[in-house]
Structure 1
Amino acid sequence: MFKILVIEDDKTLFQELQDRLSNWSYDVCGIADFSNVLAEFTNAKPDLVIIDIQLPKYDGFHWCRMIRNHSNVPIIFLSSRDHPTDMVMSMQLGADDFVQKPFHFDVLLAKIQAILRRTYNYNAEASALKTWCGALIDFERNTISKEETEIELTKNECFILKQLIEHKDKIVTRDSLIRALWEDERFVSDNTLTVNVNRLRKKLESIGLGHMIETKVGQGYIAKEEEPAT
Structure 2
Amino acid sequence: MKRIYLIEDDPKIAGLLKDYLEKYEYEVTTVASFDKIIDEFKAIEPHLVLLDINLPRFDGFYWCRQIRSISNCPIIFISARDSGMDQVMAIENGGDDYITKPFDFDVVQAKIKGLIRRIYGEYAAPNQSESMELDGLQLYLTAMEVSWKGQTSVLTKNEFILLRAFVHRLNNVLSRTYLLEILWDDETFVDDNTLSVNVTRLRKKLEQIGIFDCIQTVRGAGYKMVNTWSELA
Q: What TM-score results when the alignment is normalised by the length of structure 1?
A: 0.95
- Greater Cα shift, 62-71 or 208-217: 208-217
Unmatched tracts of structure 2, length 5 or more: none
Aligned to 2:8: 8
SS in 1 for 2:126: helix
Aligned to 1:93: 93
Alpha-carbon deviations, 1:54-110, whole Å to 9, x = none? 011111111111111111100000110111111111100110000000111111111
Task: Report deviation, 1:148.
Answer: 1.7
SS in 2 for 1:211: coil
Q: Is the Cα–Cα contact under 8 Å of residues 211 and 229 in structure 2 kept in the other structure?
A: no
Supply the AA of the counterpart residue of 1:223. Answer: M
Aligned to 2:213: 211
Supply the AA of the counterpart residue of 1:52. Answer: D
Of 218, 221, 224, the match for 1:222: 224
- Greater Cα shift, 132-141 or 73-82: 132-141
Task: Report deviation, 1:228.
Answer: 6.0
Using the alignment, how far apart are the partners of 1:23 and 1:127 within structure 2?
A: 35
State yes or no: 1:159 paired with 2:161: yes
Task: Report deviation, 1:33.
Answer: 0.9
Of 165, 174, 177, the match for 1:175: 177
Aligned to 1:68: 68
Alignment of 1:1-230 (within 5 A): 1-121=1-121, 122-124=124-126, 127-225=129-227, 229=231
Query: Measured at CA, do residues 102 and 51 of structure 1 come closer, stay the same or move farther in structure 2, by a change above 3 Å?
Result: same
Using the alignment, how far apart are the partners of 2:6 and 2:223 within structure 1?
A: 35
Q: Is the Cα–Cα contact under 8 Å of residues 173 and 221 in structure 2 kept in the other structure?
A: yes
* Aligned-pair identity (%): 41
Using the alignment, how far apart are the partners of 2:31 and 2:229 within structure 1?
A: 50
Task: Report deviation, 1:218.
Answer: 2.2
Task: Report deviation, 1:219.
Answer: 1.4
Query: Measured at CA, do residues 191 and 229 of structure 1 come closer, stay the same or move farther in structure 2, by a change above 3 Å?
Result: closer
- Greater Cα shift, 127-136 or 11-20: 127-136
Using the alignment, how far apart are the partners of 1:68 and 1:158 within structure 2?
A: 14
SS in 1 for 2:125: helix
SS in 2 for 1:124: coil
SS in 1 for 2:213: helix
SS in 2 for 1:49: strand
SS in 2 for 1:6: strand
- Greater Cα shift, 121-130 or 34-43: 121-130
Task: Report deviation, 1:8.
Answer: 0.2
Q: Is the Cα–Cα contact under 8 Å of residues 159 and 199 in structure 2 kept in the other structure?
A: yes
SS in 2 for 1:144: strand
Q: What TM-score results when the alignment is normalised by the length of structure 2?
A: 0.94
Alpha-carbon deviations, 1:2-35, whole Å to 9, x = none? 0000000111111111111000000000111112
Unmatched tracts of structure 1, length 5 or more: none
Using the alignment, how far apart are the partners of 1:49 and 1:13 within structure 2?
A: 15
Q: Is the Cα–Cα contact under 8 Å of residues 135 and 230 in structure 2 kept in the other structure?
A: no
Q: RMSD of the TM alignment (CA)?
A: 1.5
Task: Report deviation, 1:203.
Answer: 0.4
SS in 1 for 2:111: helix
